[in-house]
Amino acid sequence: MSKVIVPKGYKATLGLYDTQTAIGMLKRIFEERLCNVLNLKRVSAPLFVDPETGLNDDLNGIERPVRFDIKDTGKDAVVVHSLAKWKRMALGVYCFHEGEGLYTDMNAIRRDEEMDNLHSVYVDQWDWEKVITPEERTPERLQLCVERIYAALKRTEFLLSEQFPVLQPFLPDRIHFIHAEELRKQYPGLSPKEREERIACQFGAVFIRGIGGALGDGTIHDDRSPDYDDWSTEAEDGSVGLNGDIIVWNPVLQSAFEISSMGIRVDRAALEKQLWLKNAGDRKKLYFHSLLLEGKLPQTMGGGIGQSRLCMLLLQKCHIGEVQAGLWPDEVLTECEKAGVFLF
């Protein structure tokens, strides 16, 4: 069921024309900064893939892809959910070296998405992936990458505020790091989403690590597919998981706001373990999975950063439809129109 919240007294900070100008500026700045801090090169990426290859991502493991037939091939194709596995294979095909990476404009359709202020069925992301060494599969390497991405985000916020002074910076200078198990212990009586609200409100920006694996009470913070992020490997300090989410506090919505999910990707051992934990051993015979199990894919880390999400956040909008053209339920359009909020 779609739902929308328009904060009391909300009025768009920028008009429609300036909003479009600011979107273009934001995307140019952040894309350039992201490439610089992570050493990335742009590549073209598919909108749809062969479902038999295993290249599409199941995200939480239950989402249905959009499937259609192609007349000349006589086969079906599925629209991508994300490109986590495709990017890893592309790094090997294109012969990227250690320390180098790629990024692409990822466009996807997620038909089962519950539409609200932050979600639509259309997804646009900067999807990135880079080659690392086996020795870099550590929480410390992951944290360094998060800090670099956050620095690019802060720089983008600053340059936007120079061009549009009405957009006052609000992000904290530093991002806070916490493991999902530590967060659970800190707020044992709250749900995972409620914990995110508390920690994001407290620090303004946080990276929650270890999402997908079992916590101390047997629950999980959030579900993850078993075949791209490594959420099961134990670090030297005993913590589990080499992935996580970047979450900030959204001052317009007064709520936690996820802008990126990322992580170090599974190696052979982690893939075997996570497929077993998810009772998904049948995936081993798929093309991507067999390549990984045979040691034919590079070790990587990567993630996705929502383009419309970032525009919504930094342009201080209350609904993603203010920065992204899409289809919205009639009741949402009516509610927003009453509040003076224009959705594309």
Per DSSP, helices labelled H in the chain are 16-38, 84-93, 139-163, 180-186, 192-203, 268-277, 287-293, 307-314, 330-338
Query: 126-136 burial string, b = 16+ CB within 10 Å, else e?
Result: bbbbbbbeeeb
DSSP 161-220: HHH-TTS---S-SS-EEEEHHHHHHHSTTS-HHHHHHHHHHHHSEEEEE--SSB-TTS-B
Q: Which amino acid is at 270?
A: A
Tokens 């500026």 belong to which residue?
Answer: 25
- What single letter denotes the amino acid at residue 189? G
Q: How far apart are CA 233 and CA 122, in angstroms?
A: 32
- Give me the torsion for CA of 234, 239, 245, 249, rounded to 10°: 180
299, 132 contact by CB (below 8 A)? yes
Residues labelled catalytic: 57, 110, 125, 245, 258, 261
CA–CA separation, 154 and 246 (whole Å): 13
**Is the dihedral angle over the CA atoms 116, 117, 118, 123 positive or is it negative?**
positive
Helix (H) or strand (E) holding 251: none
Q: Cα–Cα distance between 110 and 255 in angstroms, integer?
A: 23
Alpha-carbon torsion 310, 313, 314, 315, what sign?
Answer: positive
DSSP state of 284: G
